Amino acid sequence: MKKAVAAEPVKKAAAAKSVKKKAAAAKPVKSVTKTAAAKSAKSVTKAAAAKSAKSVTKTAAAKSAKSVTKAAAEPESRTALVRRARRINRELAEVYPYAHPELDFENPFQLLVATVLSAQTTDLRVNQTTPALFAKYPTPEDLAAANPEEVEELIRPTGFFRAKTKSIMGLAAALRDEFGGEVPGRLEDLVKLPGVGRKTAFVVMGNAFGRPGITVDTHFGRLVRRWKWTQETDPDKVEKAVGELFPKSDWTMLSHRVIFHGRRICHARKPACGACPIAPLCPAYGEGETDPEKAKKLLKYEKGGFPGQRLKPPQSYLDAGGIPAPPLGAAAPPATGE
């Protein structure tokens, strides 16, 4: 009997020990199960989020494509085009309140000669070249009587110097012989002069005589086609098409603003779309760099903190932070940033 009683506690202790072992073994299993469940839930959540993001992206792309298709299917009306074009002009007027002709000149004769010399070169190079030319030949009479070889040497930096010498000496002789040494202010008279076309004539009329005119240079033609104001490529047709969108009183300043924008922001090869103030109005947005920081590095002239093209720019340009260009052979001032 005593043996049976003694064995009883031993059995109970063994049973308790067994229960503890089972409990200990069950805990890790339960913990592992919870971890697996959490991981599984997390995985499901990620998959769901990815699927949702993919779905949103697809929806956005579909909406964008639908919008583009709709825009293509519904061409801009004439009224909408006129409104958009005039709004662009107003926006540019705020961006470039100091827009001006970028050729240095003190009188109509100097502007006429400088404009002829600007063909196939930059206004900067012309501005660096003309001071010596005008110092030696200040009047049409002086230039008409010059030695062609001396004139060629003076204007050599502008390129095509032989053909340009012939043109500027020819127009100087015509001014002397037919107009009493004065530059005429009428389109029909200006285009009769050697080397003078409608573009040159409008530059002179608008900036020397205050008569409205549209200057269709490479920048102007390129931008108005990007903006879908016209698809014409012939300068005379571009001039007519754009002229019909604006009142005559806007023509001269419109030309300056568009050309300024083309030189500073809306470049031919790499337009700075991300830094463009009229991006929301531009059908060609996205052709260039759209990242704002990268686009900012593409800005030129005063927009990028660099010198402009005129050695003697208007005071309004200087007041707006513009930097004068250096004379021929001088080092350019360092960039100052915006």
Report, as residue numbers or ranges, the catalytic residues: 199, 217
Contact assessment for residue 300 and residue 219, using Cβ atoms and an 8 Å cutoff: no
Residue with tokens 């502008």: 158
What the block records as the tokens of 49 is 């989020």
**What's the rounded Cα separation, in Å, for the pair 295 and 115?**
31
> Which token pair is 78?
């004439």
> Tokens 């005379």 identify what position?
236
Q: Which residues pair with 295 in a beta bridge?
A: none
List of long-range contacts for 126-134, beta carbons under 8 Å, 24+ apart: 126/158, 127/102, 127/103, 127/309, 127/310, 127/311, 127/325, 128/157, 128/311, 128/325, 128/326, 128/327, 128/328, 129/154, 129/155, 129/157, 129/158, 129/328, 130/104, 131/104, 131/311, 131/327, 134/110
Place of tokens 């298709």: 69
DSSP letters along 82-120, please? Answer: HHHHHHHHHHHHHH-TT---SS--SSHHHHHHHHHHTTT
Q: What is the DSSP letter of 307?
A: B
Is residue 139 within 8 Å of 159, Cβ to Cβ? Answer: no
Which residue has tokens 């070249």?
129
